Amino acid sequence: MNIKSLLLGSAAALVAVSGAHAADAVVAAEPEPLEYVRICDAYGAGYFFIPGSETCLKIGGKVRTEGQWYDAYNPSARFGTKWHTRAELQLQTATDTEYGPLKTNTELRWDWNDGGATSTNLLHASISLGGFTVGKEDSQFNVFTGYAGDVINDDVVYDGPYELNQITYNYDAGNGFSAVISLEDTNSGSGATGSNGEDSSDHYAPDVVAGAGFKSGAWGFKVVGGYDSIVEEGAIKARVDADFGVFSAFVMGGWNTDGSKLNKYAGANGAGAASGIGWGDWALWGGASVPINEKLKWNFQVAYTDSKIFSATTNLKFKPVKNLLVEPEVTYTNWDSINQDQWAGIIRFERTF
C-alpha cells in the first residue's frame, strides 16, 4: 500500500512539474507582415508610396557622356576633342492635400570635364502647391514657352535665364488657356552687377515675368515678357508651335525693349571674341522635328538676330533601346559684327532612368 501511494504521488508530482513547465514556455511572436512597396499612379508613371506614409516618391536621373569638337558659342575656341561626363539625380515627391497635390522637385548634378575636378550643382529645388511654386527652377521666361528647339546648342542665340529662385503662380483653365506670373531673384548683393555693369549691391526689387498661352488641337501659341529691375529694361517672346503628325515645327520671336543694352531676358551667350554680343532689337528662332521611325528622329534649328548673329544646328536622335540616346550634332555660327564664324560638333551618349 505504501509503495502504491508512493508511485501515485510521484506520478502526480511529474504531471504538476510538466504543467508548470508548459505554462512557462516562451511562445515566439509571429513575424510582422511585410509591407510591400505600393504603386502610386495618381501623379504619373514611376511614383510609389514611401513605406509608412501617404507621400509618393519618384526617383529618376541620367548619366551622360559626350565628346565636343570646337565651341559653337566661341569663335576663338580651337581645341580638339573635349570630353564631358555628367550624372543627375532627381527626386520628386507628391502628397494629396485639401488644396491639391503638395509637390517637391529636387535635382542634383555632377559634372566632370577633361583635366578638371568634379563640380556639384543643386540644379533645381522647389515646393509646389495649388498652382504656386517657390524655390529654384529655370526662369519662367524659358519654361513657359518651352525653351527653343530639340537640339543641344539651342541657345547659341540667348533665349533667357536658367537657374534662379522664384515665386511663381501657374494657371491652367483646362480648356487650352494657360498663364503664368513669376517674381524672380535678381541675384543682387555685395559686389554684384547688372547685365551692363550696373551696381546692384543695394538692390531689393525682384524681376517680373508674366505670360499667357492657348493650345487647340495641333496648334499652340504663347507669349511671355520679362522685366529686369536692375537694368530697368526687358524683353518679350512669342512662340507658335504646330504638330502635323509627320513632323512638328515652331517659330519664336523676341523683342528687346532697348536694343543698345543687354538685360536678363535679352542677354548674350557668346564667349571669347563674341562675348557681350546680344540680340540688338530683336531675335528669331525656328525649327522642326521629323520622326523617321520609332527609334530615329531628325531635328534642326536656325536663329538670327538684329545684331547679325546667325546659328544653324542639326542633329539625329537615335534610341537603339528604351532610355538610351545616341545624339550626334553639328552647329554653324556666324557673328557678322566681328567677321568671325565657327563650326562645332558633339556626339552624346545618354542613359535616363
CA distance 85 to 350: 10
At 155-207, the pLDDT tens digits run 999 999 999 999 999 999 999 999 999 999 997 666 678 888 887 877 889 99
- 27 within some domain: no
At 45-77, the pLDDT tens digits run 999 999 999 999 999 999 999 999 999 999 998
Pairing assessment for the beta strands 296-305 and 282-291 based on DSSP bridges = antiparallel
Share of the chain above pLDDT 70, in %: 89
For residue 169, list its beta bridge partners: 132, 181
| pLDDT for residue 301 | 98
| pLDDT for residue 22 | 43
3-state helix, strand, coil in the chain (%, to 5): 10, 50, 40
At 316-351, the pLDDT tens digits run 999 999 999 999 999 999 999 999 999 999 999 999
At 239-251, the pLDDT tens digits run 999 999 999 999 9
- 135 within some domain: yes
For residue 31, what pLDDT band results from cuts at 50, 70 and 90? low
- 17 within some domain: no
CA distance 229 to 316: 40
In this prediction the pTM is: 0.85
Mean pLDDT over each residue of the chain, to the nearest integer? 91
| Cβ proximity of 314 and 288 under 8 Å | no
The residue segments making up the domain with residue 250 are: 35-352
Q: What are the backbone angles phi and psi of residue 266, rounded to the nearest 5°?
A: -140, 70
Q: What's the domain count of the chain?
A: 1
- 5 within some domain: no
Residue 287 pLDDT exceeds 60 = yes
For residue 15, what pLDDT band results from cuts at 50, 70 and 90? very low
| Cβ proximity of 124 and 139 under 8 Å | no
- 202 within some domain: yes
- 15 within some domain: no
| pLDDT for residue 5 | 52
- 309 within some domain: yes
- 7 within some domain: no
Three cell numbers written together for 238? 512669342
Residue 191 belongs to domain with CATH number: 2.40.160.10
Q: What are the backbone angles phi and psi of residue 79, rounded to the nearest 5°?
A: -75, 160
Three cell numbers written together for 157? 542665340
Cβ within 8 Å of residue 293, ≥6 positions away: none
| pLDDT for residue 16 | 47
